[in-house]
């Protein structure tokens, strides 16, 4: 091998490897070079770089640790957090199916997968999620199994009977078969209906005002009711949507530390009066919830999605505390 020959020729000279991912082999080639005698590897978070990118730091670090038992000074548990930060700063999204840091890397929907994961995580998870700062998520959808749905509901603090679970399962499959995504908020609402639970929402929107313009910093003020407490806050943003979301987050964070991790918008219909669909992913500690808002006004769709997700997280926390 080239590196082995170089090492013999120059035993006291440190060798480094710098690979690009044009053939999708940057990480594999970097590992091979290290095994052949290189002592330094050039890599980037999320594999960012020229053309197809560079070797991904997160993949190399985890491979060295778990496949070759090589210790590095890299704090693996901060990889996901760092990846998310870099993605936000650069504006370059990480593909959902990317190894280690992709959003789907530790998400399971298929009935076969969830059944196996719940029995023995190693069947579909060669990397323990917590090792890289992640958590396993079981989601509902057209491929979901009843066991996975029960586990997801349990995470929300809900424990349906067998008959109730069958009905929830059928409703989830019906929605999934139509090609629609079933968010955590959707699953919670379905379970509420089937189980006959009171549709109480801890956080309710009472008033929202947004001001924006050419020479005005986008500003939003919000009035929320959280149980018996009124929360009033104002915030600015780079636009009306950002300002509104910041105001909601600021108001709720005074009581519940909930963080927005992902925001996506999609126009369902065409034209200037298009109906928009906003999907968010929120986190509270190690709990994650996805939710969707649909409205003609993108600001209202965004706020609806935020509040739906926040209510799932709050309800889950309250159920766990009461148990």
pLDDT band, very low/low/confident/very high, at 84 (cuts 50, 70, 90)? confident
Instruction: Evaluate if residue 70 carries a pLDDT over 90.
Output: yes
**What's the mean pLDDT when you consider all of the chain?**
85
User: Does residue 89 come out as left (phi exceeding 0), alpha (psi in the -120 to 50 range) or beta?
Assistant: alpha
Structure tokens at 225: 């009711």
**CA separation for the pair 230, 251 (Å, rounded):** 9
> Phi and psi (nearest 5°) for 210?
-125, 130
What CA–CA distance (Å, rounded) separates 133 from 82?
10
Specify the higher pLDDT residue, 157 or 67: 67
SS3 295: strand
Q: What homologous superfamily is domain 203-322 in, according to CATH?
A: Alpha-isopropylmalate synthase LeuA, regulatory domain (3.30.160.270)
CB 277 within 8 A of CB 258: no
The structure tokens 């943003």 sit at: 237
**CA angle 165-155-255, nearest 5°?**
130
pLDDT tens sequence across 207-243: 999 999 888 899 999 999 988 889 999 999 999 999 9
The model's pLDDT over 93-149, given as tens digits with 9 standing for 90+, comes to: 888 889 999 888 887 776 666 667 777 777 778 899 899 988 877 777 666 777 788
Nearest CA-CA partner of 152 in 190, 125, 196: 190
Where along the chain do its domains lie?
2-90, 109-195, 203-322
DSSP-derived secondary structure letter, 95: P
Per-residue pLDDT at 251: 92
Note the pLDDT of residue 45.
Answer: 96
Tokens of 254: 């005074």
Place of tokens 């409205």: 295
Query: What are the structure tokens assigned to 243, written together?
Result: 């300002």
Q: How far apart are CA 187 and CA 146, in angstroms?
A: 13
Average pLDDT (151-165) is: 86
Query: Average pLDDT of 8-16?
Result: 80
- Tell me the pLDDT band of 319, cut-offs 50, 70 and 90: low
Which range is least confidently modeled, 84-88, 110-114, 252-256? 110-114
CA-based radius of gyration for the chain: 23
For 154, phi then psi, to 5°, come to -60, -35
Hey, is 230 helix, strand or coil? strand
């Amino acid at each position: 091998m080239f590196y082995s020959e170089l090492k013999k020729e120059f035993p006291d000279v440190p060798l480094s490897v710098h690979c690009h991912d044009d053939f999708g082999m940057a990480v594999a080639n970097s590992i091979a070079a290290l095994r052949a005698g290189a002592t330094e590897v050039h890599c980037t978070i999320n594999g960012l770089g020229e053309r197809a990118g560079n070797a991904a730091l997160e993949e190399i670090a985890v491979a060295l640790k778990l496949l070759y038992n090589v210790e590095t000074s890299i704090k693996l548990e901060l990889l996901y957090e760092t990846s998310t930060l870099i993605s936000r700063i650069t504006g370059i999204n990480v593909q959902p199916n990317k190894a280690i840091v992709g959003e789907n890397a530790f998400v399971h929907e298929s009935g076969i997968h969830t059944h196996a994961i719940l029995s023995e995580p190693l069947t579909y998870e060669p990397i323990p999620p917590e090792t890289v700062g992640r958590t396993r998520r079981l989601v509902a959808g057209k491929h979901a199994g009843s066991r996975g749905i029960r586990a997801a509901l349990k995470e929300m603090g809900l424990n349906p009977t067998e008959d109730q679970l069958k009905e929830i399962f059928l409703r989830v499959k019906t929605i999934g078969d139509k090609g629609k995504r079933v968010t955590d908020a959707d699953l919670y609402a379905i379970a509420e209906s089937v189980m006959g639970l009171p549709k109480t929402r801890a956080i309710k929107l009472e008033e929202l005002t947004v001001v924006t313009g050419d020479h005005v910093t986008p500003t939003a003020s919000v009035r929320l009711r959280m149980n018996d407490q009124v929360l009033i806050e104002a915030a600015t943003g780079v636009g009306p949507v950002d300002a509104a979301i910041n105001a909601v987050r600021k108001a709720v964070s005074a009581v519940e530390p909930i963080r927005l991790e992902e925001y996506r918008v999609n126009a369902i219909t065409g034209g200037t009066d298009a109906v928009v669909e906003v999907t968010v992913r929120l986190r509270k500690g190690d709990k994650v919830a996805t939710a969707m808002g649909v409205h003609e006004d993108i600001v209202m769709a965004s706020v609806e999605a935020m509040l739906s997700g926040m209510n799932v997280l709050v309800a889950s926390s309250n159920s766990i505390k009461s148990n």
